[in-house]
């Protein structure tokens, strides 16, 4: 998870700096952070600047332009010909449902997140269970392993 946290610092988003790493056979095979595609301007216009009153506007803006860290990690693996089948994804913020679906479809079998996301959709857990994928917080995982 420490590598995901470091990767997150590359994001220029003013609300959430999110990082992901994909691990297979105890090796990092891909990583990503939330941001816009190459050639786009920086993620967040100055007027957002982390202002809670602007959060909904920021969300609408980022839906149109920002690629989530999980997707960037999956896309980088695909572009470079790296299989993520039976790999684990570590992400600093609980993934949205679209990212969960993409991870499951790509063959990720464990999704471990650090911080809960307040817009989390409870059916992501059910979706993972039906797909045989573990979606678990780092805190829960550490308790299980203790």
Is 49 annotated as a binding-site member?
A: no
Residue 123 — φ and ψ, nearest 5°?
A: -75, -5
Is 99 annotated as a binding-site member?
A: yes
- Of the candidates 63, 77, 82, the one whose C-alpha atom is nearest the C-alpha of residue 15 is 63
> Which residues are marked as active site?
70
- Of the candidates 15, 16, 26, 19, the one whose C-alpha atom is nearest the C-alpha of residue 5 is 19
Could you tell me which residues are beta bridge partners of residue 22? Answer: 30, 89
Is 96 annotated as a binding-site member?
A: yes
Binding residues for Zn(2+): 68, 96, 99
Binding residues: 68, 96, 99
């Amino acid at each position: 998870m420490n590598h995901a946290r470091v990767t997150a610092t590359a994001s220029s988003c003013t609300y959430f700096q999110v990082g992901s790493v994909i691990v297979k056979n105890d090796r990092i095979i891909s990583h990503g952070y939330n941001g816009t595609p190459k050639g786009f301007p920086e993620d967040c216009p100055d007027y957002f600047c982390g202002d809670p009153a602007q959060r909904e506007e920021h969300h609408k803006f980022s839906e149109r332009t920002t690629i989530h860290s999980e997707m960037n990690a999956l896309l980088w693996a695909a572009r470079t010909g790296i299989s993520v089948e039976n790999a684990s994804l570590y992400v600093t913020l609980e993934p949205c449902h679209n990212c969960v679906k993409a991870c499951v479809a790509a063959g990720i079998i464990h999704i471990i997140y650090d911080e809960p996301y307040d817009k989390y959709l409870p059916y992501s857990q059910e979706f993972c269970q039906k797909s045989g994928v573990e979606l678990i917080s780092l805190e829960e995982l550490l308790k299980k392993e203790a």
